[in-house]
Structure 1
Amino acid sequence: MTVRVYTKPVCKQCDLTKNALDKAGIAYEVEDLTEEGNLNAAKELGHMSAPVVVVGEESWSGFRPDLINELAKRIEDNA
């Protein structure tokens, strides 16, 4: 399962999200929203604030520790 995090520089919620994913042991790929095409990709998912976390067909925006914990549990259950 690929986890992709769209972030921007100097973003507290982005940093909190990446730290929570690291703490939960969840591997992820970072996409910089300031790079061409990434902002449009996040907007096409219907999100207007950073970070945007994409897991398969599911996505959310903002710092969501509840969803990160749920994702960690799902990954653990499938291991």
Structure 2
Amino acid sequence: MSLELYTKNNCIQCKMTKNFLMQHDIAFEERNVNENPEYIDYLKNKGFQSVPVLEQDNNPIIRGFRPDLLKK
């Protein structure tokens, strides 16, 4: 299982999601749209207009900071 977290700079929800995952020892790869603008098109093609977006094995599972869903 691989988790990818799409983030951007100065995003409070992104920071909170990253902190939650790290505090619970959940491995993920961060993909920052400011550092890699190609991720913007990738997310738009999947219907997303904001971050954070958490994907599992290239399938979106959570959008935004959702501790209730992250706990699952």
Q: TM-score, normalised by structure 1?
A: 0.80
- Does residue 6 (structure 1) correspond to residue 24 (structure 2)? The answer is no
* Structure 1 moving runs of 4+ over 2 Å: 56-60
Matched with 1:62 is 64
Deviation at 1:59, TM superposition (A): 2.6
Structure 1: segments with no counterpart, 5+ residues: 71-79
Larger radius of gyration: 1
**RMSD after superposition:** 1.2
Aligned-pair identity (%): 36
Question: Which moved further from structure 2: 60-69 or 7-16?
Answer: 60-69
SS of the residue corresponding to residue 59 of structure 1 reads: strand
* Secondary structure in structure 1 of the residue aligned to 2:30: strand
Mapped to 2, the partners of 1:60 and 1:40 lie a distance apart of 18
TM superposition shift of 1:36? 2.5
What's 1:49 paired with? Answer: 50
Q: Which residue of 2 aligns with 1:74?
A: none
Q: How many residues align?
A: 70
Structure 2 gap segments, 5+ residues each: none
Q: Equivalents in 2 of 1:30, 1:54: separation in Å?
A: 11
Per residue, is there more helix in 1 or in 2? 1
Maintained 8 Å contact 1:45/1:59: no
